[in-house]
Amino acid sequence: MAKKAHVSETPATQMLRSHGVSFTEHPYEYLEHGGAQHSAVALGLDPYTVVKTLIMQDQDGKPLVVLMHGNLKVSTKNLARQIGAKSVEPCAPEVANRHSGYLVGGTSPFGLRRAMPVYIEQTILALPKIAINGGRRGYLVGLDPQVCVQLLGARPVQCALAE
């Protein structure tokens, strides 16, 4: 086990600390296109408890954030229906980067560049603890999923699909 590297502050950790949220830090070796599955394996976590932050957009190009289990996909049809949109699709990486202020692969729902509605797969809220991106590639933070509702106003949705 490598010694624990100190990770410098990110907009996400600054937001969490400023709200007094307790969290654990989990740096790992980032792998391009490795996704949540890679980070789960690298950290010895269940991919179901690793939550990915996805920047998507509706039919008008309005951005939104979807928090989903690391080993599941988003049913964009179900999501669109539940949020009253005609359609929802993932943003292109450069568009997602612009909206969030983070690089794809290091996107955290905390400390976003611009306010966007946040939707969370409701089964995530039943977990005692989740690992979610801390605002940098190769860096997850562990926290209570209720923080997503309390700090971000995340609205529960049912839109999970098996990978």
Structural domain contains residue 1: no
Write out the two tokens for 118: 């946040």
Asked, for residue 3, whether it belongs to a domain, the answer is no
CATH number at residue 114: 3.90.960.10
User: Is the Cβ–Cβ distance between 156 and 120 less than 8 Å?
Assistant: yes
Distance of CA 126 to the CA centre of its chain: 16
Q: Phi, psi at residue 26, to the nearest 5°?
A: -135, 80
| Average pLDDT of the residues in 102-120 | 96
Is residue 4 a part of any domain in this protein? Answer: no
What pLDDT band is residue 8 in, cutting at 50, 70 and 90? confident
For 66, phi and psi rounded to 5 degrees? -120, 130
What confidence tens digit (pLDDT) does each residue in 37-64 have? 999 999 999 999 999 999 999 999 999 9
Which of 27, 30, 29 has the alpha carbon at shortest distance from 5?
A: 27
Residue 33 phi, psi dihedral angles, 5° rounding = 65, 15
